Structure 1
Amino acid sequence: MSDAVAIGDGIFQITVPMSHNPLGSTLVYAMESPNGVVLVDSGWDGDEGWEGLTDGLESMGHSISDVEGVVLTHFHPDHTGLCGRVREASGAWIAMHEDDHEMFRLMTSGHTPEWLDEQIENIRRAGASESDCDAYRAASVLKPPARPESAPDRTLSGGQVIALTGGRTLRVVFTPGHTPGHACFHLEDADVMFTGDHVLQKTTPHVGNFIFPLEERDSLAEFLDSLTRVQSMGVTRGLGAHGLPITDLPGRAKELVEHHEERLDHLYEAFGDDEITVWQVAERMKWYRGWDAFAPLMRGMAVSEAAAHLRHLVTRGQVIQVPGSDPARFARV
């Protein structure tokens, strides 16, 4: 049985496992509400996760049928996957920031042959070689659509308030970057913020641009601005969806800003005097392991993160796209 952990201030932490994933689990938070229980995120869709969530609620003295609603930090499946089963069991409402609703729809459309063709063409525009494209195709797995019944039926916006028991409230803090519609939730009377994947105690969240060669959205700028916003709020404690509690939220947010500034400086220097593609930008980025050790699909994720840093250097006017280059190449100003 997976017992919920009472962490004070009426907050219970439930570990929802996903043994197939290196992260191991998603941390779901539960608080009593006027009509039962409100959850922050739901966990990965699977019998193992479902058992963890239901056992955790039962150890609190509640059942899954007591869930009034689920507020989602963002659309990724380790946060949204069980929403459909929760709603089926309890009639709960599901709420997510408006800027992630479309991303959820795309996620639930599945991985079809047409989808894979689009992904291959996308990395080709980034400058991937034919051998890289072939390796990516061979490693990809076509999947049926995810559960559309997990789709949120309510829209959240920054500053919105969700009612809890005793007049307590959760306030939505819009923190785009990790996803376009990522949101944190501030439990105002307890000086606690549920940070989802925006700020984690140890891990650096992935920030990517996924349309190559150069997406209009500057996701890294959004992420850095969101970190500054959280840092300025003065909330001390953070509860992320993975890892240990954060005891100095402003300090951890500052560390993440500094980390990305260092990566930007390193990347700018790594250009030298060369004109390089997005794929070559990824090859020159500073990673926790050598580029040759990255599996094909992990290279795709790395290219998306490299593209986000490249996009931000372009925003800052430090790098330009070379006119007429195909595939697109970039150079320092």
Structure 2
Amino acid sequence: MSDAAAIGDGILQIPVPITDSPLGHTLVYAMESPGGLVLVDAGWDDDNAWAGLTSGLEAVGHSITDVEGVVLTHFHPDHTGLCGRVRAASGAWVAMHEADHAEFHKMTAPRGPEWLDRQRANMIAAGAPNADIAAWQELDLQPPTGPDSAPDRILRDGDTIDLTGRGLRAVFTPGHTPGHVCFHLPDADVMFTGDHVLQKTTPHVGNFVYPLEERDALAEFFDSLRHVQSMNVTRGLGSHGIGIDDVGVRAGELIEHHEERLDHLYEAFADDEITVWEVAERMKWYKPWSDISPFHKTLALSEAAAHLRSLVSRNQVAQIPGSSPALFARI
């Protein structure tokens, strides 16, 4: 039996399974629109997730053929994966912020030898040990979803999506991804927060180009959190976990959490010159670094790079000229 339910304010909540993931599921939301239903996100791309979405819609009195459109909070596969199947079943349009369009196409691009060589060079630039690079290469590196799920509409900050008797407004909140969007339902004082603000977990914020890329993802995240705080929205509905009682308060807690991580990382440098990989090793994680899986080490490495990038932006840490792989030290 599906756990899909009406949760008030004309909002339907549908848990869509993510197979073999500790996250469990993506929470997809549906609301009535002039042409049927609009979904906020779609879920992971496999038969198990598809069964969860279709049976969930049926449990709340609808069908997948009722879907008029899908608005996406961001490009990650647990949000975009089923868009292709939804569009094929109902003719729905799919909308994503313009800043995440390119990221989606990178995610779904073929991964042949040239792609593998670029990724290996990227890890070498971070200072990754050979054993860890070899372990990473043993992972399933094929794209997690396909180009059939590509968005066909562009969302911009402030765009309004027509619902039945009301509107859903896009709020640009980069940080978790370059084009992450939350969706505000003003008449209900509700915000669909995607992976930007979650009640029980801290969203991943990462830079994936080493040693450092131009984008300061953590600074973007802070700015977006402060923007959400300024909106004074009470109820938040994230893509994972339980609802949020006060979006602004939770946003403030996330800022405080990352400021503490930055302080800890700065102290962890001591007087050493270290690589991006060693930055990741010195950060605090949910388990000892040696016990983290190869896949989650790559995520941790990207998050470490984002924190390092912010310390460099704040003139607390600098790259050592001429070092290869790049070394960093406190100023």
- Shorter-chain TM-score bucket reads over 0.9
Residue of structure 1 in register with 2:45 after alignment: 45
Correspondence for 1:325 among 320, 323, 326: 323
CA contact (8 A) 1:70 1:92 kept: yes
Residue of structure 1 in register with 2:284 after alignment: 286
CA contact (8 A) 1:112 1:144 kept: no
Residue of structure 2 in register with 1:176 after alignment: 174
Tell me how far 1:232 sits from its aligned partner: 1.1
CA contact (8 A) 2:45 2:144 kept: no
Q: Unaligned regions of 5+ residues in structure 2, if any?
A: none
Q: Any idea what SS the aligned residue of 2:45 has?
A: coil
Tell me how far 1:149 sits from its aligned partner: 1.3
Say yes or no: does 1:55 pair with 2:55.
yes
Q: Any idea what SS the aligned residue of 1:229 has?
A: helix
User: Residue 152 of structure 2 aligns to which amino acid in structure 1?
Assistant: D
- Once structures 1 and 2 are overlaid, which stretch shifts more, 36-45 or 126-135? 126-135
Correspondence for 1:222 among 212, 220, 223: 220
Residue of structure 2 in register with 1:14 after alignment: 14
User: Residue 56 of structure 1 aligns to which amino acid in structure 2?
Assistant: G
**Counterparts of 2:309 and 2:141, CA distance in 1:** 30
**Counterparts of 2:265 and 2:31, CA distance in 1:** 43
Correspondence for 2:232 among 228, 234, 242: 234
Residue of structure 1 in register with 2:135 after alignment: 135
Please list the CA deviations of residues 282-324 of structure 1 after superposition, one character each: whole Å capped at 9, or x if unmatched: 1111112111111222221111100000000001111111111
Residue of structure 2 in register with 1:298 after alignment: 296
Correspondence for 1:275 among 253, 273, 283: 273
CA contact (8 A) 1:109 1:146 kept: no
**1:64-75 mapped onto 2 (5 Å cutoff):** 64-75=64-75
Q: Scaled by the length of structure 1, what TM-score is found?
A: 0.97
Q: Unaligned regions of 5+ residues in structure 1, if any?
A: none
Residue of structure 2 in register with 1:89 after alignment: 89
Q: 1:229 to 1:291 in 2, by over 3 A?
A: same
Tell me how far 1:115 sits from its aligned partner: 1.9
**Counterparts of 2:92 and 2:293, CA distance in 1:** 40
**Counterparts of 2:268 and 2:111, CA distance in 1:** 35
Moved segments of 4+, more than 6 Å: none
**Counterparts of 1:65 and 1:94, CA distance in 2:** 14
Tell me how far 1:145 sits from its aligned partner: 7.3
User: Residue 331 of structure 1 aligns to which amino acid in structure 2?
Assistant: A
User: Residue 16 of structure 1 aligns to which amino acid in structure 2?
Assistant: V
Residue of structure 2 in register with 1:257 after alignment: 255
Residue of structure 1 in register with 2:78 after alignment: 78
Please list the CA deviations of residues 237-257 of structure 1 after superposition, one character each: whole Å capped at 9, or x if unmatched: 100000000011111111100
Tell me how far 1:129 sits from its aligned partner: 2.1
Aligned residues: 331
**Counterparts of 2:133 and 2:141, CA distance in 1:** 16
Q: Scaled by the length of structure 2, what TM-score is found?
A: 0.97
Residue of structure 2 in register with 1:150 after alignment: 149
**Counterparts of 1:63 and 1:205, CA distance in 2:** 31
CA contact (8 A) 1:87 1:93 kept: yes
User: Residue 325 of structure 1 aligns to which amino acid in structure 2?
Assistant: S
**Counterparts of 2:61 and 2:285, CA distance in 1:** 45
Q: 1:3 to 1:282 in 2, by over 3 A?
A: closer
- Once structures 1 and 2 are overlaid, which stretch shifts more, 47-56 or 96-105? 47-56
CA contact (8 A) 2:17 2:48 kept: yes
CA contact (8 A) 1:25 1:242 kept: yes
